[in-house]
Amino acid sequence: MGIRDMAAGGFPAVKRGGENPEPQGGMGAGSSAAMPWDEEEMKERRRLFTMRFEELLDDCHGSCLLREPARREVVTTALHHFEGERYELGAYVVMPNHVHVLFRLLGETVMEKVIHSWKLFSARRINIMSGRSGQLWQAECWDRLMRSQAQYDWTVRYIQRNPGNMPEECFSLWKKE
């Protein structure tokens, strides 16, 4: 299972409202583009939207609360807490404004409960450390089922490449040996 989650301030209002990551013609509610699209056009629109969304994330827009090493350590501690008991970690990267995690659930563990515990623990600690209150993480996350070893390997490489040329002190990267 792969997870990407984003701190609530991942995109500043100007990016959310001013620069729409959606491909020309839109896909969302209120879109003026003719519908329905054929399956190939839908796939291409999703691909373009996802690419632009990833670019905005990786450009580190927003509050970037996780740029601070102590805050990233809170997240990595949460990720490792139930490792081997509820899930098996494969790789992760904690970026200044989002997190990618590749993991496999163990037994009857429910993914939503695992993610909730990561978010709850890290949000409480980071809010205290930052002297802030309220929502830290976005409510939703994007999960993907790994359907093959090739997809798993590609995802590990993606996580490892995600920081790009960012200085090492701005992210935390981990991969299972």
Is 73 found in the same domain as 49? no
Co-location of 70 and 44 in the same domain: no
Question: Same domain for 74 and 125?
Answer: yes
pLDDT category, 11, cuts 50, 70, 90?
A: very low
Pick from 28-42, 65-79, 82-96, 131-145: least confident: 28-42
**53 and 70, same domain (yes or no):** no
Structure confidence at residue 28 (pLDDT)? 39
Question: Using CA atoms, how far apart are residues 44 and 116, in angstroms rounded to an integer?
Answer: 32
CATH code of residue 131: 3.30.70.1290
Q: Fill in the amino acid letter for 168.
A: E
94 and 130 co-located in one domain: yes
Residues 109 and 141 in one domain: yes
Query: Is pLDDT at 50 greater than 90 in this prediction?
Result: no
* Mean pLDDT for the stretch of residues 94-121: 95
**The predicted structure's pLDDT at residue 7:** 56
Pair 40, 93 in one domain? no
pLDDT of 21 reads 42
Query: Which residue in this structure is represented by tokens 């920081």?
Result: 163
Q: Could you tell me the residue range of the domain that residue 54 belongs to?
A: 13-58
Residue 76 and residue 45 share a domain: no
**H or E element at residue 72:** helix 69-81
Whose tokens are 């995690």? That residue is: 101
Are 90 and 119 in the same domain? yes
54 and 68 co-located in one domain: no
Say yes or no to pLDDT of 52 above 80.
Answer: no
Q: Count up the domains in the chain and report the number.
A: 2
- For residue 39, give the 3-state DSSP assignment: helix
The answer to whether 120 touches 23, Cβ cutoff 8 Å, is no
Q: Give the contacts of 61 (CB within 8 A, at least 6 positions apart).
A: 10, 11, 12, 15, 97
Closest CA to 78 of 97, 101, 104, 55: 101
Model confidence over 114-158: pLDDT tens digits? 999 999 999 999 999 999 998 899 888 888 899 999 999 999 999
Concatenating the DSSP letter of every residue in 93-153 gives EE-SSEEEEEEEE-TT--HHHHHHHHHHHHHHHHHHHHT--S--B-S--EEE---SHHHHH
**Segment among 21-35, 117-131, 158-172 with least mean pLDDT:** 21-35
pLDDT of 77: 98
Q: Do 98 and 43 share a domain, yes or no?
A: no
Q: CA–CA separation, 137 vs 78, rounded Å?
A: 14
What percentage of residues in the chain have a pLDDT greater than 90?
A: 54
Query: Nearest 10 degrees: CA dihedral of 105, 109, 112, 114?
Result: -70
| One domain for residues 72 and 52 | no
